[in-house]
Amino acid sequence: MARAEASVRVSVIVMSYQHERYIARALDSILEQDAGVPYEVLVGDDASDDGSRAIIAQYAEAAPDRIRPFFPDANLGLEGKAMFNALLERARGEYIAKLDGDDYWTSPVKLRRQVAYLDVHPECSMCFHNVLWRREDGSRADVPYNSADQATQLTMQDLLSANPVASCSGVFRRDAIRPLPAWFFEQPWGDWQLNLIASQQGSIHYLPEVMAVHLTHAAGMWSKLSWLEALEGITRCQEGLQGVVPPALEWRRRAALGETWVKRAVEHARLGDRKEARRCLRESFRVRPIDVRRLRRGDGERRRALLWLRLRLSAGVAPGICSAGERRVGKGAAAGGEAVTPADRDEHRGG
């Protein structure tokens, strides 16, 4: 490692876009970190047209030894993934911490705590902590991002259906995520995918301390989506992981994808579009053939079967009359084809 890099242990990557109202608070929360861990702050603004850049420039002028701004002439695109990659390539630290410009840290020992943990756990490619989830409009009381029963260690298998890692909480080993693979840039989002990349290089550990605030507001990339739009994005993510996950975990990817198609079917049914609900349910059966042996176990198979029956009856089709595709699904399941393990957690935090 070059001498200039040796003085930097952590590179804090800050992503800003239209964050005029929030970016000062985010930068203040970084600059308040305990001086025991040498760090740099790389702030990239993706061509905001509000006052974000002016605020960032003021902070960089006040702390030129700490803050390195990056202001491209035009938006780099790819939903922020191109900006993250540009900053990651400029990073000099052994570790990478990520903070979106509308979130902020609440503990001055966050970086010191996580760096110390990673230093003594070489098997760990990243660690994350609990976060307070806050709605800007006050429509809901603050709640912890992670529940009390959050597992202390995660693997890729755990991450294929849900992302329990708040984007403002993770600290990665730089070598675990750089260089970013080509498939990363083809995904709808980047946060969940970064965690999956890290999981390929080691385990992911959870620290239960609350050390940041994740802010939900109307302009947020995830919060501005309807539930159906979010599920469609999750579908694209899970489909795009085909060939990325190791063969031994392909069943888990298909199980997670099948469950997402079920959720889409349920939402379309709720919205009154039963034709589309039936199509989504057929897709669920295609990627995750039903296993009649699990109907009594509460693994989600009973829910799928009952939803299929309800949608068939609403269409005026006798339950025993199946389409050719549904007959193939039944044949595959009866043959013990692609039966999967239990359905996953209901909640998915993407983005």
| Residue 339, domain member (yes or no) | no
Looking at the fold, whether 19 and 135 belong to one and the same domain comes out as yes
Looking at the fold, whether 302 and 272 belong to one and the same domain comes out as yes
Looking at the fold, whether 93 and 183 belong to one and the same domain comes out as yes
In this structure, what token pair is assigned to residue 225?
A: 């989506």
Looking at the fold, whether 195 and 235 belong to one and the same domain comes out as no
| Residue 349, domain member (yes or no) | no
Per-residue pLDDT tens digits of the chain, which is 351 residues long: 443 445 899 999 999 999 999 999 999 999 999 878 999 999 999 999 999 999 999 999 999 999 999 999 999 989 889 999 999 999 999 999 999 999 999 999 999 999 999 999 999 999 999 999 998 888 889 999 999 999 999 999 999 988 999 999 999 999 999 999 999 999 988 899 999 999 999 999 999 999 999 998 666 565 667 889 989 999 999 999 999 999 999 999 999 999 999 999 989 988 999 899 989 989 998 998 876 665 555 556 667 666 766 776 565 443 433 333 333 333 222 222 222 222 232 334 444
Looking at the fold, whether 202 and 309 belong to one and the same domain comes out as no
* 197 to 194, 222, 235, 256: CA distances (angstroms): 5, 20, 18, 18
Instruction: Give the pLDDT score at 7.
Output: 84
| Residue 350, domain member (yes or no) | no
Alpha carbon distance 154, 168 (integer Å): 17
Instruction: Give the pLDDT score at 216.
Output: 87
| Residue 341, domain member (yes or no) | no
Number of domains in the chain: 2
- Asked whether 39 and 33 are in contact (CB, 8 A), the reply is yes
3-state class (DSSP) for residue 206: strand
The domain that contains 182 carries what CATH number? 3.90.550.10
Looking at the fold, whether 50 and 126 belong to one and the same domain comes out as yes
In this structure, what token pair is assigned to residue 123?
A: 């098997």
Looking at the fold, whether 160 and 304 belong to one and the same domain comes out as no
Q: Write down the residue that tokens 């060939």 correspond to.
A: 243
User: What is 224-267 written as a DSSP string?
Assistant: TS-HHHHHHHHHHHHHHTTTTS-GGGHHHHHHHHHHHHHHHHHH
In this structure, what token pair is assigned to residue 186?
A: 């083809």
Q: What is the DSSP letter of 184?
A: G
| Residue 181, domain member (yes or no) | yes
Q: Write down the residue that tokens 């059966």 correspond to.
A: 285
Looking at the fold, whether 199 and 233 belong to one and the same domain comes out as no
Domain span at residue 164 reads 3-216
| Residue 184, domain member (yes or no) | yes
Provide the whole-model pTM.
Answer: 0.83
Looking at the fold, whether 180 and 315 belong to one and the same domain comes out as no
Name 130's bridge partners. Answer: 210
User: What is 95-164 written as a DSSP string?
Assistant: EEEEEETT-EE--TTHHHHHHHHHHH-TTEEEEEEEEEEEETT-SS--EESS-TT--SEE-HHHHTT---
Q: Which of 183, 216, 249 is the last residue of a domain?
A: 216
Alpha carbon distance 341, 296 (integer Å): 14
Looking at the fold, whether 88 and 47 belong to one and the same domain comes out as yes
Looking at the fold, whether 85 and 172 belong to one and the same domain comes out as yes
Name 67's bridge partners. Answer: 41
| Residue 342, domain member (yes or no) | no
- Asked whether 16 and 43 are in contact (CB, 8 A), the reply is yes
Instruction: Give the pLDDT score at 287.
Output: 92
Instruction: Give the pLDDT score at 161.
Output: 80
| Residue 343, domain member (yes or no) | no
Looking at the fold, whether 184 and 61 belong to one and the same domain comes out as yes
Strands 67-70 and 124-135: unpaired
